[in-house]
Amino acid sequence: MTSPLPQGNPTIERMCTLAGVSRAGYYRHFEASAPGREETGVRDAIQRLAIANRHYGYRRIAALLRREGFAVNHKRVLRLMREDNLLCLRKRAFVPATTCSRHGWRVVPNLARGMVTTGLDQLWVADITFIRLQEEFAFLAVVLDAFSRRAVGWALDTHLAASLAIDALEMAIAARRPSPGSLIHHSDRGVQYACGDYAAVLEAHGIQASMSRVGNPYDNAKAESFMKTLKQEEVDGRTYRDANQARQMIASFIEQVYNRQRLHSALAYQSPIEFEANLRSQEKAAQGATTTASRSLATALWGARSLAACCAESNHQPGSGAAANKTPIATCP
């Protein structure tokens, strides 16, 4: 006689018997309702991610969903976000000007146009933008690594003097320590970047200067894109009391959100720090494989040379006539 199953663990067959339905009918109903539950789960995840990342569009939301294990494409995410009215915040109109190109300083050629970067600290891009405070304007100078999109230096103050841009540049140099002669610094033709003090800092660290063409923001598109992201995802919708509060909150956004969390489509939907970490891991793996191959080749060459030297020494052992030829000669293994 078999013992009955515990009351808290009935089988599907037992439950179907108690409910008076067949197992086939139960499974047909389950297959019909499963897509609805999956749709509800996806909608719930989209709403949660859209609220947590209020400036993300449907492509980045789709990338976050795939990271969480949902099998969705961007078209489905767009449809669901439209149906649920989950729209990202829009930027405000750009008004103040921060660039003054009418000056007597030397303007250097554009070295970044058409340049294809292959690694970190080959090309830095710099720019300045305004930040609206309650009673005045502040200005933010930023330096980015063009390859990883990482913000490596920034400075915020209530003036547009050259010292603002120099502070951002010195922060970037201290953080990255680029090798002299290996880096190009690209910016617009503003007086802050063309002045003698800024050029002296670049020259002291072996950094080559590059400037955009007249009235062409596309030459500095990566820096312009960062400013757009900063305005949409941090500045717009906030009210900063003064420059100190703006400096603290914008620094937190750059370090904790933009560099560490924000997904960049140009980086295969990785954050800049994640992209740089993966890049360094790949470089270390490649160096390890090269070192192993070099050691194997050196060992093989050493063995071949040792064998040749041993055989040559054995063939020249002292002996005379036939007796020497009849004597067996030991060979190297």
Rounded to the nearest 10°, the torsion over CA 149, 154, 159, 163 is: -110
Q: pLDDT, tens digit, for every residue of 128-142?
A: 999 989 888 899 999
Query: What's the average model confidence in pLDDT over 261-286?
Result: 92
With bands split at pLDDT 50, 70 and 90, how would you rate the model's confidence at 101?
Answer: low
Q: pLDDT, tens digit, for every residue of 179-213?
A: 999 999 999 988 899 999 999 999 999 999 999 88
Contacts of 173 (CB under 8 A, 6+ apart): 153, 201, 205
User: What is the amino acid identity at position 35?
Assistant: P
Residue with tokens 């830095």: 124
294 in helix, strand or coil?
helix
Q: φ, ψ for residue 157 (rounded to 5)?
A: -160, 175
Contacts of 109 (CB under 8 A, 6+ apart): 210, 211
Sheet arrangement for strand 123-132:
151-157, 137-145, 123-132, 183-187, 207-211
* DSSP strands (E only) in the chain: 123-132, 137-145, 151-157, 183-187, 207-211
Domain boundaries, the chain: 16-83, 123-276
Confidence (pTM)? 0.63
Cβ pair 170, 149 in contact under 8 A: no
CB atoms within 10 A of CB 28: 11
DSSP string, 187-251: E-S-HHHHSHHHHHHHHHTTEEEEEPPTT-GGGGHHHHHHHHHHIIIIITT--BSSHHHHHHHHH
Longest dimension (CA), the chain: 110
With bands split at pLDDT 50, 70 and 90, how would you rate the model's confidence at 104?
Answer: low
The hierarchical CATH code for the domain 123-276 is: 3.30.420.10
Q: For residues 217 and 44, what is the distance between their CA atoms, to the nearest angstrom?
A: 40
Cβ pair 322, 296 in contact under 8 A: no
Contacts of 326 (CB under 8 A, 6+ apart): none
Does residue 5 surpass a pLDDT of 60? no
DSSP 267: G
Least confident of 158-162, 249-253, 285-289: 285-289
| % of the chain at pLDDT higher than 70 | 77
